[in-house]
Structure 1
């Protein structure tokens, strides 16, 4: 559901339509005093952010009264307040509808109001401005519903002489559903669960039971397969309640996974899971649950088999619960919500059911399975170290949200290294951890210890400053690179050479005979940061950005005032006009006029002569972005040298 919603939003808004529609009315309360009633209708899945937000988040909504003076506080409906997964902080925002009332005084016949605001959905942000002329006679006025990219202008100050503009119509969203990724993670979790002491000993017992209690081999196979599919169905059903939450209020899933208090609870729960795996105590569900399901399993044929599978899920909870908990929390932090959770649960159940189904066809293989013993205990303790490392992620989430600063990136990685070193020592037989030390270590155990040690060495690069953000394989798990004990060296992404003015960057591109990457971005654009940290940090992408193109980053939310000589007025096709007074307004209009888009992130590859090299791209995955970058660079190799010409004032 959310995938199609995202696709719809991209198609609807990437061509300039504003997801927020304003209307206003002035009601006289005294001589030259009016209550101005503002209403904003907000498209589904979009958020309009409140006034006076904390630094480091989205842009606050600003009401600029041109010929009136505000009296008293702004009144209106209460915004929603909670943890915003996009900006990773607590924020106030509106969905569906906003109503504000502001008392003002003016002697003019109309009230001139200029509104600046930011609205975001799951992938894109709009930085909007709305000039309103409000009559004082009580007339209701609606903001003109205009295409923000349909601009008439004079002097050709912002208009580029672009070629291949038909490629603009070919641009569109590039999004891949991550259901398969979470399904594979579920499979891996299920395979780990098979190797735990709670599950592995039950495999030969259960398969043998179906084989020996059935009248024929065919009946035994059918019962084993029914048992396997019942396991898958049980774990799929566990995700069903989250689908109702997703339908009733989509942000519930994000709130569950990203709330500060819940992150601290998850941290504590995962530590308890780890201690349980270490052998300090056992986690079990109430005994009567397994008794009742076991009794039901003996009453009916295939329904009884279902309850046998339910008994397995209940009695193995002490081992599967921590693994399932990791999967559940990991799914809820992803954008796919409940559907991703279902994919993960189905994957987990499929892996858990696989040996019960396959071995029913080949019962002789049961004799070759390794016997239960001390190796199962090693698997369980190893999972304890993994749970302890995962717990740290939730403490880190709470730390970043609250701004405590107790767990910067380097300290996070150092603690991980300590946990993994202890794990490696355990695998090498250095200590028994609540159990006697083994007299002899298995070769697989020693090999795993070596792999863990090498992973510790890999993590070591994350505790020293690095130009290209190390540990790309773990991107999104440790705190971001900016949450560091080391100071930032540059305000360009990844310390690349970048230019924040089109003509300056174009002159460099002409001099170096390289294509231009136009990066329409924003200081408050979180998905812009995701592309920079997760895609641009890839070695092949980073090399191309550094060596093969000239990067021009244009910040559409930059509120630095333009010099008076650079200020200009643009006129929309409906006759309304807008004065460009800030740097951000200039580049926002520049994007709209030339590329028929007002959303960010938005990337364009073009030759310095204005030739668009391939269709522009927005928020996408690593492989698609790299392919797009290579395609544009290859198309931009022109034998014709250029000389600088300046057109934008």
Structure 2
């Protein structure tokens, strides 16, 4: 597990160094050689960009993924004669996977002989899956459409059956006044808010990282090195400032791989973020991080990395040498900063908007907080004397971070439970787990129990007592929330919603409102009672959706409007529950791309995209029963703005009724 986490960090860092111009570093072609009337030799040739390599089919297990061919129709239309052979390869030992890996450089040639079982066969399709790597490994697929007789390959077109065409057509609404939607402006306001929030979280994480034993002792040593290594004080200060700049740059670079994913599909990371098993993986990793903070083991990157970076900084000197010094700091401090960075990544998956942009903002905030002390103490070296001495208090900081990592871990387990509709990790159980965690943290801070890496028992400091008191207050707050004495508005979005409870509730909708979770059913009811519709695109793992429900919908001036004036239709776009077989279908976009609709979330996510050109949640639309849009759409707004929006929609609806 330690090597896995180290490799993930290595992957994230090194992919950021890949120029965007190298996004397609291998070009493939194929040839056909006729051996006899029934036998052919197929050659697949790859030209690989300098510095990159492609892995062999026969590279050792436990390392990078091997190349793999899929011959469509093999065994029915034709048979394979022998194995697919390869041109010359290179074998080298991998420090990351600790195995010998076999790969191609510059050129790769695969050869496969086939024998036809159907004499009239003249076209075949072959798919190649491969990994192409530099410092980063990128998985790719290459489809070869091969004509055996030299004619143009005629690919069969995928066509929708009548049932799929009908079900797909039913998703498209005949909306009126669609020009009222103001999606671009909404997303811009929302994204700006998220960026500042994530930047602040990153900055806070960086400040906390400064207090850990991996970073704090480095401050006076590094600042003294810069201010004393040169005779000119101004040059030493300039070097320290450059060192701080490189720290910010390095942590920014860590976010660049996620922009690569965003460029492929702007929603891919948000889709992944609601994946059940990825959330479970996050849970496991965060628990692993937490116990490293508790002192049961050490999370470290290979020491050879730090040694190489340190040697490079001494060898090259100048600005490049300072960059390698900053990189050395990032590597040697990983045991403390890695779990914090993991928490930052987790926070970005819970926030709305582009995960990549959010992560860049968080990483810049984190790097800036780490860099500030080195710059400030270089400018004002006398301040070094006011720094507290290293000691046991830094261990306490790590343990507190461990408890916070565990609390966040259970949020991801809760997401998996909600999205998967497991019905196991209900609201009361989630709150109970958090209560136990924060009570344990309180007991630790007050010295009731200790962890393996704690030093000799000492008198509790005022700061430790203060944090322990805050933890106790928070534990009591959670207990009151569990007993329904308080509404836990400070935690809106983190615990499961109120209606996801072990207790029997009259409604499975937020705040026990009446709601429909199928659009057609809700529309039919709205037409029956002649009321406007509040269309709510939401998600089980959507934090801002819960905040809106618990802080805005619950407002005394808004709740009666929702309860009495509107028909609420809540569509969960991340619901992974499978549709009945008769309701599954293929949907064809205007571009011709075909998407399989197999889950409830896929259906309503596609419904939102094709009708409202939106993909984020929460997303609210007001409709009349005859599908007239009554107002602009809104997302995450305050209670005052939401009330104004609801009343404006009602006014427009009643005016249209009186015409």
Q: TM-score range by the shorter chain?
A: 0.5 to 0.7
Find the counterpart in structure 2 of residue 283 from structure 1. Answer: 299
Which residue is equivalent to 1:369?
387
User: Is residue 182 of structure 2 the alignment partner of residue 172 of structure 1?
Assistant: yes
Deviation (angstroms), 1:530? 7.4
Which structure 1 segments of 5+ residues have no match? 1-96, 103-110, 119-126, 130-146, 151-164, 507-515, 558-595, 607-611
Partner residue in 1 for 2:261: 245
Structure 1 position 214 matched with structure 2 position 230 = yes
1:378-414: per-residue Cα shift (whole Å, max 9, x none)? 1111111111222222323333344443322211110
Output the CA distance in 1 between the equivalents of 2:541 and 2:506: 19
Structure 1 residue 171 displacement after superposition: 5.1
| Cα 1:536/1:273, change in 2 over 3 Å | closer
Which whole-Å CA distance do the structure 1 matches of 2:318 and 2:612 have between them? 62
In the alignment, is the contact (CA less than 8 A) between 2:195 and 2:361 conserved in 1? yes
Structure 1 segment 61-140 matched on structure 2, within 5 A:
99-100=158-159, 102=161, 115-117=166-168, 128=171
C-alpha contact (below 8 Å) 2:377/2:383 kept by paired residues? yes
Of 336-345 and 419-428, deviating more is 336-345
Q: Name the structure 2 match of 1:106.
A: none
| Aligned equivalents of 2:441, 2:621: Cα separation in 1 | 44
Measure, in 1, the Cα distance between the counterparts of 2:612 and 2:373.
Answer: 53
Deviation per CA, 1:176-219, whole angstroms, max 9, x where unpaired? Answer: 11222211111111111001011011111111111111222211
Determine the C-alpha separation between the residues in 1 that align with 2:163 and 2:225. Answer: 82
User: Is residue 621 of structure 2 the alignment partner of residue 621 of structure 1?
Assistant: no
Kept after mapping to 2: 8 A contact 1:527/1:619: no
Contact 2:211 2:397 in 1 (8 A): yes
Q: CA deviation at 1:453?
A: 1.1
Q: Deviation at 1:308?
A: 0.7
SS at match of 1:519: strand
Report how far residue 170 of structure 1 moved.
5.5
CA apart distance, 1:333 = 4.5
CA distance in 1, matches of 2:336, 2:428: 32
Q: Give distance in 2, aligned partners of 1:262 and 1:597.
A: 28
Alignment of 1:221-300 (within 5 A): 221-254=237-270, 256-299=272-315, 300=317
User: 1:205 pairs with 221, 224, 231, which one?
Assistant: 221
**Deviates further, 245-254 or 354-363:** 245-254
- Is 2:368 aligned against 1:353? no
CA distance in 2 between partners of 1:245 and 1:635 (Å): 38
Give CA deviations for 1:70-106 in whole Å, capped at 9, x if unaligned. xxxxxxxxxxxxxxxxxxxxxxxxxxx994454xxxx
Alignment of 1:478-557 (within 5 A): 478-490=495-507, 493-496=510-513, 518-521=533-536, 526=539, 533-538=546-551, 542-547=555-560, 550-553=564-567, 555=569
Aligned-partner Cα distance in 2 for 1:297–1:364: 27
User: Is 1:430 aligned to 2:448, yes or no?
Assistant: yes
* 1:454 Cα offset (Å): 1.1
Q: Determine if contact 1:149/1:597 at 8 Å carries over to the other structure.
A: no
The 8 Å contact of residues 499 and 508 in structure 2, kept in 1 or not, is answered as: no
1:498 and 1:406 mapped to 2: Cα distance?
A: 23
Q: Secondary structure at the match of 2:550?
A: coil
333-342 or 256-265, which moves further after superposition?
256-265
Alignment partner, residue 346 of structure 2: 329
CA separation of 1:112/1:241 partners in 2, compared to 1, >3 Å: closer, same or farther? closer
Change (3 A) 1:453 1:528: closer
- Among 156, 171, 174, the alignment partner of 1:148 is 174
Contact 1:497–1:546 (8 Å) recurs in 2: no
Q: 1:503 to 1:263 in 2, by over 3 A?
A: closer
Q: Deviations over 1:324-378 (max 9, x none)?
A: 1111233245431212111111111111101111111111000011111111111
2:587 is aligned to none
Contact persistence 2:392–2:455 (CA under 8 A): no
> What is the match of residue 85 of structure 1?
none
Kindly state the Cα deviation for residue 472 of structure 1 after the two structures are TM-superposed.
3.2
Deviates more, 1:389-398 or 1:377-386: 389-398
Pick aligned residue for 2:475 from 425, 448, 456: 456
Q: Which residue of 2 aligns with 1:476?
A: 493
Aligned partners of 1:255, 1:599: CA distance in 2, in Å? Answer: 14
Q: Answer yes or no: is the 8 Å Cα contact 1:531–1:619 preserved in 2.
A: no
- Alignment correspondent of 2:337: 320
Describe the shift of the 1:539–1:194 C-alpha distance in structure 2 as closer, same or farther (beyond 3 A): same
Report the Cα distance in structure 1 between the residues aligned to 2:612 and 2:250, rounded to whole angstroms: 46
Cα offset, 1:269, TM superposition: 1.9
Counterpart position of 1:386? 404
Q: Distance in 2 between matches of 1:503 and 1:398?
A: 36
Alpha-carbon RMSD: 4.2
SS at 1:280 equivalent: coil
1:225–1:356 Cα contact (<8 Å) kept = yes
CA 1:149 to 1:439, structure 2 compared with 1: closer, same or farther past 3 Å?
A: closer
* Counterpart-to-counterpart distance in 2, 1:388 and 1:244: 30
* 1:339–1:359 Cα change, 3 Å: same
- The CA distance in 2 between the partners of 1:262 and 1:336, in whole Å, is 18
Counterpart Cα distance in 2 of 1:114 and 1:484:
39
The residue that corresponds to 1:4 in the other structure is none
Task: State the secondary structure of the residue aligned to 1:116.
Answer: helix
| 1:298 match: secondary structure | helix
Q: Is the 8 A contact 1:541 1:626 kept in 2?
A: no
Contact 1:413-1:459 within 8 A present in 2 as well: yes
Q: Which residue of 1 aligns with 2:597?
A: none
Contact 1:195 1:376 in 2 (8 A): yes
- What are the residue-to-residue correspondences of 1:416-427 with 2, within 5 Å? 416-427=434-445
Range 482-491 or range 344-353, more displaced = 482-491
Provide the C-alpha distance between the structure 2 equivalents of 1:352 and 1:260, rounded to a whole number of angstroms. 34
Structure number having the greater helix percentage:
2
Q: Deviations over 1:524-559 (max 9, x none)?
A: x649997763213216862112356743115499xx
Residues 599, 532 of structure 1: alpha-carbon distance in 2 compared, 3 angstrom cutoff: same
1:626-641 counterparts in 2 under 5 A? 626-630=640-644, 633=647
TM-score (norm 1): 0.60
Aligned length: 447
* CA deviation string 1:443-464 (max 9, x = no partner): 1111111111111122224434
Paired residue secondary structure (2:498): coil
- Distance in 2 (CA, whole Å) between partners of 1:256 and 1:621 is 22
CA distance in 2, matches of 1:615, 1:527: 27
Pick the aligned partner of 1:396 from 407, 414, 419: 414
The whole-number CA distance in structure 1 between the counterparts of 2:613 and 2:378 is 59
